[in-house]
Amino acid sequence: MALSGLFLILFLSLHFFINMTSVFSADAFNAMSHFMGYNPLIQFVMQPVLVAGVIFHFVMGMVLEVKNRKARPIAYVNYNGAANASWASRNMIISGLVVLAFIGLHFYDFWLQEITYKYVEHNSQEPTRYFGELVGKFESPVRTGLYCVAFLLLSVHLWHGFNSSFQSVGFNNKYSKALHKLGYAFAIVVPFGFIFIALFHHFNQI
């Protein structure tokens, strides 16, 4: 669970870096997106690994949730969860399911249409189409709002998940405190960065 989470954090970081370039340079975003979309190593090796990682992470999350519930079939008479754990840590399954729903929307919105464009509708490459497609996705205020809400929940998920992943794999030394600060910063900067990107492209069309 921890290792798959750390793997997905690496992918999220790359995804954020590429998307952020769309704010500064349409040409740079088009070039990076075209490379990612047509590089055989990424398409036929890394992409299946990514999909497998997503599936494994969320299946394991549900399995662990079921095991945790079975470990205490009788509820506490008086339980104050907030006294020992944050809301984020006690509701990882909720934020995780919302993020999973968002990934499903993202696959439908971007990945499925990308596959359709490349392998069904067109036989030629168009390396300058990506920026326009991205901007077009954020024209709708409803879709933009859904993306923003999903990334807020992703921030909550990462707030606990980033640090607990390193703890689960046994990383506990003099660098732990600095790593915790990095984890909290990541949980804020990256999701809210995605929100900024969505709002930037949405309001620049008005």
3-state secondary structure 65-134: HHHHHHHCCCCCCCCCHHHCCCHHHHCHHHHHHHHHHHHHHHHHHHHHHHHHHHHHHCCCCCCCCHHHHH
Q: What is the pLDDT of residues 60-81, one digit of tens each?
A: 878 877 887 777 666 555 555 5
Please give the pLDDT value at position 122: 65
Please give the pLDDT value at position 26: 94
Residue 200 has pLDDT above 60, yes or no: yes
Burial class of residue 83 in the structure, from the number of CB atoms within 10 Å of its CB (0-12 exposed, 13-18 middle, 19+ buried):
exposed
Residue 25 has pLDDT above 90, yes or no: yes
Encode 13-80 in three state secondary structure: HHHHHHHHHHHHCHHHHHHHHHHHHHCHHHHHHHHHHHHHHHHHHHHHHHHHHHHHHHHCCCCCCCCC
Please give the pLDDT value at position 7: 82
Average pLDDT, the chain: 81
Please give the pLDDT value at position 131: 93
Please give the pLDDT value at position 84: 56
Confidence of residue 194 (pLDDT cuts 50, 70, 90): very high
What does the pLDDT average to over 102-118?
78
Confidence of residue 123 (pLDDT cuts 50, 70, 90): low
Please give the pLDDT value at position 202: 94
Q: What is the pLDDT of residues 125-163, one digit of tens each?
A: 788 888 998 998 899 999 899 889 888 888 888 887 777
Highest mean pLDDT among 35-39, 58-62, 79-83, 86-90: 35-39
Confidence of residue 57 (pLDDT cuts 50, 70, 90): confident
